[in-house]
Amino acid sequence: MSSERIAVLIPGRIHPRVRSRLVDAFDLVEIDRAEDVEGLPEEVRKSIRGAAVSGRFPASLIAALPGLEMIGSFGVGYDGVDVKAAAARGIVVTNTPDVLNDEVADTTIALLLNTLRQFPAAETYLRAGRWEAEGPFPLSPMSLKGRRVGIHGLGRIGLEIAARLAPFKVEIRYHTRRPRSDVPYGYHDSLLSLASAVDTLISIVPATPETKGSINAEVLQALGADGVLINVGRGSTVDQPALIRALEEGTIAAAGLDVYADEPHVPDALIALPNVSLLPHVASGSIPTRNAMADLVADNVISWFAEAKVLTPVPETPQNS
């Protein structure tokens, strides 16, 4: 690294560990929102060579930073970053894969069991004193036993979810764009075919134009009246109004959600439903896992400016492009 300090932009909130890992070695330029870049003095804007972001990094921000070389994005999903605009300028984008696989897979199993066995409602019942006053909590109509589980997206996290499901002795099937040769699970070449073959659908796909709205009314209909949807990927994958209708009308039985169409807004109609288990996008949200994600963001920034290479480039922006 040269003796002149390199300017790194942090647009918006980020895990404090990213900041504390970078602050001694870099000149951090911190703004509240991407749009606030316009308020920076021109020489500061032009001096920015790196960025660390959790969330949005639009094309307009990339365009405002003529010296930008790399963007370290917090999270395995990087749909907030305009990677097309970055790739067009030869800017490397990194994400934080692998370090969160176990946490997200663990949360998925917890959410699945909460949805089927209604444990959050049972705990609320106890805390409200109703066990003593009214007697036992009602038996849950559903069980994980004997379920046929379809995984939508058998990437790194999907594989960990499947590995955790196997000891539950459920049947496991999956849909991805291409079949994998390294798994024993049944493959479906379309989401609709998968939904028709299972009664439990777990979605762990990134937000892309192909996945947007792919869990629609037809897929939910195919999942059926005993069907359960678990979404731990991205909210945009689900046609949320269609899901609410399906839950209200009994087209499917229940849903467990960690992600939503317009976070942090969760529609009242969803909150009002008794047959949903709702989490506020916490699948990777433990201190150890978020620390590991923050470290990977910082390590990518440090590595780029020390050695001209990053640890985890996203496929759209390979570092030798």
Q: Which of residues 266-305 bind ligand DGY (CB under 6 A)?
A: 281, 283-284
Residue selected from 11, 50, 72, 77 as contacting ligand DGY according to rule CB under 6 A? 77
Q: Which of residues 83-112 bind ligand DGY (CB under 6 A)?
A: 100
Per CB under 6 A, the segment of 74-82, 117-125, 262-270, 309-317 that binds ligand DGY is 74-82
Catalytic position from the list 38, 134, 210, 263: 263
Q: Which C-beta is closer to ligand DGY: that of 148 or that of 281?
A: 281
CA dihedral sign of residues 211, 213, 215, 219: negative
The C-alpha atoms of residue 18 and residue 174 are separated, in whole angstroms, by: 36
| Residue 265 DSSP class | B
The C-alpha atoms of residue 211 and residue 258 are separated, in whole angstroms, by: 17
76 binds ligand DGY (CB under 6 A): yes
204 binds ligand DGY (CB under 6 A): no
234 catalytically annotated: yes
Do the beta carbons of residue 296 and residue 316 sit within 8 Å? Answer: no
177 catalytically annotated: no
Q: Which C-beta is closer to ligand DGY: that of 57 or that of 185?
A: 57
Comparing C-alpha atoms, which of 22, 14, 27 is closest to residue 56? 14
Q: How many residues bind ligand DGY (CB under 6 A)?
A: 7
What's the min distance (Å) between Cβ of 239 and ligand DGY? 20
One-letter amino acid of 190: S
One-letter amino acid of 247: L
Per CB under 6 A, the segment of 28-36, 37-45, 71-79, 267-275 that binds ligand DGY is 71-79
Comparing C-alpha atoms, which of 168, 175, 113, 170 is closest to residue 142? 113
What's the min distance (Å) between Cβ of 96 and ligand DGY? 6
SS3 call for 201: strand
What's the min distance (Å) between Cβ of 138 and ligand DGY? 33
- Pair type for strands 171-175 and 186-188: parallel
Catalytic position from the list 15, 281, 290, 316: 281
CA distances from residue 216 to 37, 243, 257 in whole angstroms, order as listed: 38, 7, 15
Do the beta carbons of residue 261 and residue 240 sit within 8 Å? Answer: yes
Catalytic position from the list 234, 248, 290, 316: 234
Q: Which residues bind ligand DGY (CB under 6 A)?
A: 75-77, 100, 281, 283-284
Give catalytic residues, as residue numbers.
Answer: 234, 263, 281
